[in-house]
Structure 1
């Protein structure tokens, strides 16, 4: 069953069926218990009426047993012998004995007044000894046949002591026909209505699920169209509701926007890289071709410079490709102040000397990352400062916000506020008229920010007072 609608409808139907079955069974059990208790109460009342007559000394053959059809009565003595039964009682079960024919007993003769106990010296009956038991009666279920009609009854058993001290047990029944009829009617109604209810539940669930999933189908179709057309500018329809499906559509569109930006960035990167690589390769080829034809005209210095530039550009492109592929930074512990001093000490060909200052609180502070990548960031920031400075470049290392900040400042023209984010884009050079040899390919700052972000830090640019630019690299301290 691959359809979500079908699974939802089936699941809802099964759950409702189980719930209705459990609820219906509980209702039937409670109804049966209540009606059985009512029948038991009626049987107890009938039994106590007969027991009261026995306690008052009413002879067995003169007992008034009410409606014998509704309340069949059987009276037994201590030995289980039957001493009295209601009229027309032909058979009985569930009372302890199935006999319905009274047997003669001495007590019956005494109560009828046929013998005189004073003549043989026996004790005369003592009315004070007669009583009806106040204990809760015993209840049983059984059957009785009255005047040819057999039915189920609820029997109550009540004990009574007559004036002669004989303990008798009165078994009186109340019919269970009303209970059986009511339970049967309710059960029949439930069995008839249950399929109808389940069909309604299944149909409603199917329709509601279909309506709820209709936007999902629209999203799927649009995504399939986008995949087929490769047009990432298209967007899936967003329903007007504020439910999970609407949030799914918005998230899908946000993902498409990010994917479109990523693909566009990749295309632009490939195009710009091809453009940047074309110039040094063409220049190097020209020089080599000229040198091959006229060895005396070979510009070895220029060829070496083009080769170095091509090598640096290839290294930058390779590092950016690794970063885009999700390469994780290293886990080495690095003292950023020492790293900055080492990088500055190796820059012997700078046109402007670089001054370095490391705050006391920053000395010894370590960060976690790749030494080569962080060294490249510091080098790129110094290259940018050397390229734009008029006469001063300074590097300061200090502790800041639970990490280490490296501040590179120059006294050049600075960066316009509206361009301070754009300069971190790849292949961006603010001075487009500047020659490529002097200005580079526009990858240094983009690479520096990517490395900083992947190390959990940030790279920003602000004004350096009245003149120049201040680049601040912040990295979190090692834990």
Structure 2
């Protein structure tokens, strides 16, 4: 069942409920009005007749109304006078047997009865309710005729209006199918002029398309860069192996092993970056950043010692807590240390502290620093400065750091130190 038909049926159902409620209300109102008219007529007749009977009884003339009195009364009303034992003393017309005096107003055997006491006798003013019931029946019959016609009109009109309202949605649907078939993610869906729900849907889809286009562009650039970066060490490895095969030179074989290690390191970086950007939910848990930094630094100290570098730590006296996934954040810290170790010949300092309710970690080195124009680019994938090229860097370490930190809702930065060297770090929200 289409959305158009479902909305039309829902609209028709609402109209049916409204008509039913209106019909019940009108029926109740008409019934009340008709009965009120009958009751008022009976009361007025009783008011006019009662003094006449009281006078006739007082004068001892019997129980009878004159022709003039009867002519002035509503002909639909019947007047009956019974003695206390129920014997009929006077009646303008015959009434069904079994109708008895009651308190004021009552309905008996299809008659409306108004009872009054006249010097111990019972004065009954009655009217048949046949005309009232006929009027109600005619009204209900009219409602039954109008109801299906109104429902049919509401269904047709609702179907037409819903169809017109869904025209923009149909256009959006056709445009989306055409876009998917063409595979042109640079195109956008037309946004309706009216800022309604359909406009919000189109805007949301266009936002998604923009993100998809950006992602595809990043993947395209990543593939191109990865192909280029992998081609270089593979070419070097092949050349060294060919020379070693020709000469049997052990130095060439050792150089080939080194080239294969560089290639393996690049592949590992690619896998780590892919894992970070996979979008898989992080297993966040309370984590003392200073303790994790100490653990990673101690595991990297052998690497620093082997290069003759001095690794210093500046950690707080009390733990600083953040919400993080230990493995991912440890990976980011390790890459910061690896990056610093490549570009310095002196010392590296790892600092953890608190500033403006954020826990920060920064790695400082005493190397040549970063070109000012490159401070905003060092976190891009495969970005390499001339120094990085000389150090055989992959250009993926800081990109991985940025990916991890942003997945944790943090921020990264790179700056040059006034006393020389660079400082690269990140900050996360502090938790208690």
Calculate the TM-score normalised by the size of structure 1.
0.78
Q: What is the distance in 1 between the residues matched to 2:84 and 2:372?
A: 114
Aligned-pair CA distance for 1:434: 5.4
Gaps of 5+ in 2: none
The structure with more helix, counted as a fraction of residues: 2
Q: What is the distance in 2 between the residues matched to 1:236 and 1:93?
A: 83
| Within-5 A mapping of 1:275-354 | 275-296=228-249, 298-330=251-283, 331=285, 333-334=287-288, 335-339=291-295, 341-343=297-299, 345-346=301-302, 347-350=304-307, 352-354=309-311
Partner-residue secondary structure (3-state), 2:249: helix
Q: What is the distance in 2 between the residues matched to 1:448 and 1:324?
A: 11
Q: What is the distance in 1 between the residues matched to 2:172 and 2:3?
A: 16
RMSD across aligned C-alpha pairs, in angstroms? 3.0
Which of these residues, 311, 315, 319, is aligned with residue 358 of structure 1?
315
| Within-5 A mapping of 1:368-383 | 368-383=323-338
Gaps of 5+ in 1: 98-134, 144-152, 162-166
The superposition leaves residues 325-361 of structure 1 with CA deviations (integer Å, 9 ceiling, x where unpaired) of 234445484513423541452322346533322233x
Moved more, 57-66 or 223-232: 57-66
Partner-residue secondary structure (3-state), 1:322: helix
The superposition leaves residues 109-132 of structure 1 with CA deviations (integer Å, 9 ceiling, x where unpaired) of xxxxxxxxxxxxxxxxxxxxxxxx
Which of these residues, 199, 208, 226, is aligned with residue 246 of structure 1?
199
| Within-5 A mapping of 1:49-64 | 49-58=48-57, 59-64=61-66
The superposition leaves residues 59-85 of structure 1 with CA deviations (integer Å, 9 ceiling, x where unpaired) of 444334624732211222222211111
Partner-residue secondary structure (3-state), 2:364: strand
Q: What is the distance in 2 between the residues matched to 1:264 and 1:471?
A: 27
Aligned-pair CA distance for 1:289: 2.7
Partner-residue secondary structure (3-state), 1:10: helix
User: 1:75·1:168 contact (CA, 8 Å) conserved in 2?
Assistant: yes
Matched, 1:77 2:32: no
Q: What is the distance in 2 between the residues matched to 1:420 and 1:179?
A: 94
User: 2:81·2:89 contact (CA, 8 Å) conserved in 1?
Assistant: yes
Calculate the TM-score normalised by the size of structure 2.
0.86
Q: What is the distance in 2 between the residues matched to 1:70 and 1:81?
A: 23
| Within-5 A mapping of 1:424-463 | 424-429=379-384, 431=385, 433=386, 436=389, 438-463=391-416
The aligned counterpart of 1:405 is 360
Aligned-pair CA distance for 1:365: 3.0
Partner-residue secondary structure (3-state), 2:208: helix
User: 2:105·2:112 contact (CA, 8 Å) conserved in 1?
Assistant: no
Q: What is the distance in 2 between the residues matched to 1:439 and 1:60?
A: 136
Which of these residues, 89, 94, 104, is aligned with residue 137 of structure 1?
104
Which of these residues, 263, 268, 271, is aligned with residue 224 of structure 2?
271
Q: What is the distance in 2 between the residues matched to 1:296 and 1:349?
A: 27
Aligned-pair CA distance for 1:201: 2.4
Distance 1:307 1:40, change over 3 A: same
The superposition leaves residues 172-226 of structure 1 with CA deviations (integer Å, 9 ceiling, x where unpaired) of 1245466446545544543443344333322332222222221211221122122
Matched, 1:158 2:113: no
User: 1:60·1:84 contact (CA, 8 Å) conserved in 2?
Assistant: no
Q: How many residues align?
A: 421
Partner-residue secondary structure (3-state), 2:305: coil
Q: What is the distance in 2 between the residues matched to 1:344 and 1:296?
A: 33
Which one has a bigger Cα radius of gyration?
1
Distance 1:319 1:60, change over 3 A: farther
Q: What is the distance in 2 between the residues matched to 1:474 and 1:435?
A: 25
The aligned counterpart of 1:119 is none
